[in-house]
Amino acid sequence: MTTKDGIVSKAGSLRAGPFDLGFSIEGSGMPLIVIGSAIYYPRTFSKALREKLRLVFIDHRGFAPARTEYAAGDIGFDTVLDDIERLRAHLDLEHFAILGHSGHGYMALEYAKRHPERVSHVIMVGTGPSHSARHMALADRIWEETVSPARKAIFAREMARLGDDIAARPEERFKSLLIRLGAKSWHQPDFDAAPLWQYVTVNNPVFDHLWGEVFRDIDVRKGLDRLAAPVLLALGRSDYLVAPAFAWDDYRDDFADLTVRIFENSGHTPQLEESDLFDEVLLSFLGTEHG
C-alpha cells in the first residue's frame, strides 16, 4: 500500500488463464469497481473523486498482457465476466458499486445481473443499447444531420491518417482507431487522446469479438428482472460513437430503477470532459455527496 499525492493506492495483478489481469486501487470510501484498463481508466477520473470513493480499476482480457498464446475459448464474454468475479474475490470486496464506460457498460450490467447480492449500484457511461446495425445507423444519422462541417473535416483528416498508423503498429489497431476517432468521441473534436493510451496493452482479437460480435447482438433486457440495483446512464451530447440518448427510450421501462443524465459539453468520456459535474452526479447517485 502506497500513498500518492495524499491518496491511498495499491496495484498488482492476478493470473487468469493466459492473462495477467492488472488492478489499481486508489482513494478511500465506498468501493467502486471500474472495468476496463487499470492503466487507461485511472487517467480519466478526477483526483477529487478519489477523496470520496475507493476506485478499484481492473483489467479485462482485452487490456491484459498475455503470457502465453490464447484461443477463442479464452476470450468469450462469460470468461470476461468470470474474471470480474475472480478479481472481486482476490481483492476481498463484498459489496460495491460497479462502473463500465463504453462497451464496458455491458460488462458492468451483466455482472450485476449475475451477482445482484454484490452490487449496490450500476453506472454505465457512454454506452448505447447495443452495437447493432440499427443502433449504429441512428448514431450515423445524428452525425450526418447535426454535426458541423468543421467537425466532419477533422474526422476526414484523421481517418485519412489511420491507415499509416495501423501499418506502422498493427498490434495497436484498436488503440489507433480510438485515437483517430476523436471528432466522434470528444466534445472538443481535435482533442488528442494519445497520452491517455500510453503504455496500454491492447489485444485486438478480444475487441474484435466483444465489440464486433457480442455487443452487436447483446440484448440488455435479458435478465433485467433479476436486477433491483439502481442504474445510472451517463451520456455525452457530443458522443457519436454510440447510439444517441433517445435510443434508450424503448428500454427505460425494463429497468427497476434507471437514472439518465446527459452531459451537454461532453462526448464519449464525461468523467474526464466534465469531471466536476460528473463527480457531482455520480456522488449524488451513490448517496455519498457528504461522505
- Residue 135 is which amino acid? H
> Which is higher by pLDDT, 4 or 53?
53
pLDDT at 3: 56
Q: Active-site residues: which are they?
A: 102, 239, 268
Phi, psi dihedral angles at 197 (to 5 degrees): -95, 0
What does the pLDDT look like over 13-36, one tens digit per residue? 999 999 999 999 999 999 999 999
Domain span at residue 75 reads 2-145+201-286
In a domain, 273, yes or no: yes
Counting beta carbons within 10 angstroms of the beta carbon of residue 248, is it exposed (0 to 12), middle (13 to 18) or buried (19 or more)? Answer: buried
- Look at residue 262 and tell me whether its pLDDT is greater than 80: yes
- The reported pLDDT for the residue numbered 56 is 98
- Give the strand order in the sheet containing 258-263: 2-4, 7-16, 19-27, 53-59, 30-36, 96-101, 119-125, 231-236, 258-263
Give dist(CA 260, CA 161) in Å, integer: 36
pLDDT of 111: 98
Q: How many folded domains does the chain comprise?
A: 1
- CATH number, domain of 267, equals 3.40.50.1820
Residue 24 lies in a domain: yes
pLDDT band at residue 2 under the 50/70/90 scheme: low
**Band of residue 291 on the pLDDT scale cut at 50, 70, 90:** very low
Q: What is the pLDDT of residue 288?
A: 80
Could you tell me how many helices (H) and strands (E) the chain has, helices first?
Answer: 11, 9
- Dihedral of CA 194/197/201/205: which sign? negative
Residue 177 belongs to a domain:
no
Residue 4 has pLDDT above 60, yes or no: no
- On whether residue 159 sits in a domain, the answer given is no
